[in-house]
Chains A and B, each alone.
Chain A
Amino acid sequence: MASQGMHSPVEQFEIKPLIELSAAGFDVSFTNSSLFMLLAILVSGVFLMTAMRQGELVPGRMQGAAEMMYEFVADMVRSNVGSEGRAYFPFIFTLFVFLLFGNMLGLIPYSYTFTSQIVVTFFMAAFVFVGVTLIALFKHGLHFFSFFVPAGAPKVLIPFLIVIEVISYFVRPVSLSVRLFANMLAGHTMLKVFAGLAVMISGAGGLAMAGSLLPFLALIGLTGLEVLVAALQAYVFTILTCMYLNDALHLH
């Protein structure tokens, strides 16, 4: 069947080099994944700059949307990190825009979803994790380790609680990256499965053609759901980053 043009639902995640490159013994080819990372940044940058070009006092629709995105992230940083988060706002904003546009562009047929790559999401999560840990160490020094001792716990329980706290701290990059990766992977696989099913049933011909309507309708609903998931997961990744940053700056 696969040879007759039917694709595996995970084939969409394959990395295809577009420009072969290598550096220091590593394959650093510019791939479809890289292309969509670049597109996410370019599209968001061009959109935001075009929308803000006039900088009107009374914003139009485009400018309103751009300002809404800015205010959305600014509010998120302000309410979750406080005034000290100001310095990190550009990073948080870039993160949100990068993920949002990456997820959204990935929903366009024949495009590529780089957030469905565990290595990408894990590297981002690890960067956030290492970053906030370093910020915490620089800001609080050794006092940072009091973060792992819950306040007001009975003395007997403290050793166990420290173990739990340390584990939960180090699991953060894993949960952060896997949440985004798994949502994208599952969503896009499901879309492909239903699309493949519709094509397969319609291929049977005759009365079976009508039956292909069912997975097709399901596909429409799922696409709507995936738009929601795309926006939601970008938001979740960003707000969790804000929370980790807040923990680093304020130690609870």
Chain B
Amino acid sequence: MVCKMGTNMAKSGMMRCLSLATGTGFGLAVTGGQAFAAGASEPGLPQLDISTWPSQIFWLIVIFGVGYVMMAKIVTPKIGTVLEDRRTRLDGDLGKAREASAEAAKIRAEYEADLEAARNDAAAFARKAAAEAAEKAASVEGKADKKLASKVATAEKKLASAKAEAMENLNTVAAEAALDAVKGLTGLKATKAQAEKVVKAAAKAMAPQEAN
């Protein structure tokens, strides 16, 4: 038994090795010869019992044929349809998504353009307003300056005339005081005209010193 198993193993191992080479036919022929010699009842390779071949070929043709028709008419079209549907669906969805994306980009561009225009308008408006305000301010300031200047001028004039009047009065007072003093001290009688003359001269002499 063990020996038999050994030969079978060797045989099958050899077959496997040779199976890649084209020379396997020879190996087959050898084992086939043994099997025929041994007969069906002895344990040879049952594959080489040609009495079973017609039935196997017959049922292979029938079953493979039926299987082919089933696969060709029902199974592969079914799977193919599902895959095709998925592909079209995906393509359709992708197309839709692409369209939507393009639409969104367009809307965004429009929005950006609107925003930009509004921003420009606002900037222009702000510039205009600022310019107007500046102009107004300048004109108001100019008017105020003129008013102020005229007021200052009038005030200065008034001041100057008041000063001159005061100076005049001062000279008169000084002349009268000098006259009284001369009269009291010397008893001499000086005329008013003389006194005024002297005072004027004195005032003139002092004026440059005051200016310093």
| Contacts from A to B (Cβ < 8 Å) | 1-2, 6, 8-11, 13-15, 17, 21, 23, 26-31, 33-34, 37-38, 40-41, 44-45, 48-49, 52, 55-57, 63, 66-67, 70-71, 89-91, 93-94, 97-98, 114, 116-120, 123-124, 168, 171, 174-175, 178-179, 181-183, 185-186, 189-190, 193, 196
Contact yes or no, B58 A182, CB < 8 A = no
Contact yes or no, B22 A183, CB < 8 A = no
Q: Give, as a whole number of angstroms, the nearest-CB distance from A167 to chain B.
A: 8
- 30 of the cross-chain contacts (CB-CB < 8 Å) are A2-B1, A8-B43, A9-B5, A13-B46, A17-B55, A26-B54, A28-B55, A30-B59, A31-B52, A41-B63, A45-B70, A48-B75, A48-B78, A49-B74, A52-B82, A55-B78, A70-B79, A70-B80, A70-B83, A90-B68, A90-B72, A93-B76, A116-B47, A174-B24, A175-B21, A175-B22, A182-B24, A190-B12, A193-B8, A196-B5
Contact yes or no, A183 B70, CB < 8 A = no
Cβ–Cβ < 8 Å partners of A89 in chain B: 76
Contact yes or no, A119 B1, CB < 8 A = no
Cβ–Cβ < 8 Å partners of A98 in chain B: 64, 67
Q: Give, as a whole number of angstroms, the nearest-CB distance from A29 to chain B.
A: 5
User: Is B56 an interface residue when CB atoms closer than 8 A count as contact?
Assistant: yes
User: Is B135 an interface residue when CB atoms closer than 8 A count as contact?
Assistant: no
The 6 closest A-B pairs by CB, nearest first: A90-B72, A34-B59, A41-B67, A186-B12, A182-B19, A182-B15
**Nearest A residue (CB) for B71:** A94
State A114–B52 Cα separation when bound (angstroms): 12
Contact yes or no, B16 A186, CB < 8 A = yes
Contact yes or no, A117 B19, CB < 8 A = no
**Nearest B residue (CB) for A197:** B5
Q: Give, as a whole number of angstroms, the nearest-CB distance from B19 to chain A.
A: 4
Contact yes or no, A178 B56, CB < 8 A = no
Instruction: Identify B9's interface contact among A34, A93, A97, A190, CB under 8 A.
Output: A190
Contact yes or no, B47 A31, CB < 8 A = no
Cβ–Cβ < 8 Å partners of B64 in chain A: 37, 41, 94, 98, 124
User: Is B128 an interface residue when CB atoms closer than 8 A count as contact?
Assistant: no
Given the contacts A13-B45, A91-B68, A98-B67, A70 and B76 also touching, CB distance less than 8 Å: yes
**Nearest A residue (CB) for B74:** A49
Contact yes or no, B79 A67, CB < 8 A = yes
Cβ–Cβ < 8 Å partners of A40 in chain B: 67
**Nearest B residue (CB) for A20:** B55
Contact mask B52-95 → A, CB, 8 Å, 1/0?
Answer: 11111111100110111011101110111111011001000000
**Nearest A residue (CB) for B9:** A193
User: Is B204 an interface residue when CB atoms closer than 8 A count as contact?
Assistant: no
Cβ–Cβ < 8 Å partners of A1 in chain B: 1
Known: A29-B55, A186-B12. 20 other contacts (CB 8 A): A1-B1, A6-B1, A10-B44, A31-B56, A38-B59, A41-B63, A48-B75, A52-B79, A70-B76, A93-B71, A118-B48, A119-B53, A124-B64, A171-B25, A175-B21, A178-B24, A182-B12, A182-B24, A186-B13, A193-B8
Contact yes or no, A8 B4, CB < 8 A = yes
Cβ–Cβ < 8 Å partners of B43 in chain A: 2, 8, 10-11
Cβ–Cβ < 8 Å partners of A70 in chain B: 76, 79-80, 83
Instruction: Identify A15's interface contact among B12, B46, B83, CB under 8 A.
Output: B46
Given the contacts A29-B55, A118-B47, A119-B47, A34 and B63 also touching, CB distance less than 8 Å: yes
Instruction: Identify B56's interface contact among A21, A23, A33, A63, CB under 8 A.
Output: A33
Q: Give, as a whole number of angstroms, the nearest-CB distance from B187 to chain A.
A: 143
Contact yes or no, A94 B68, CB < 8 A = yes
Contact yes or no, A66 B28, CB < 8 A = no
Contact yes or no, A14 B60, CB < 8 A = no
State A186–B20 Cα separation when bound (angstroms): 14
User: Is B186 an interface residue when CB atoms closer than 8 A count as contact?
Assistant: no
Q: Give, as a whole number of angstroms, the nearest-CB distance from B156 to chain A.
A: 99
Contact yes or no, B79 A27, CB < 8 A = no
**Nearest B residue (CB) for A71:** B83
Contact yes or no, B56 A117, CB < 8 A = yes
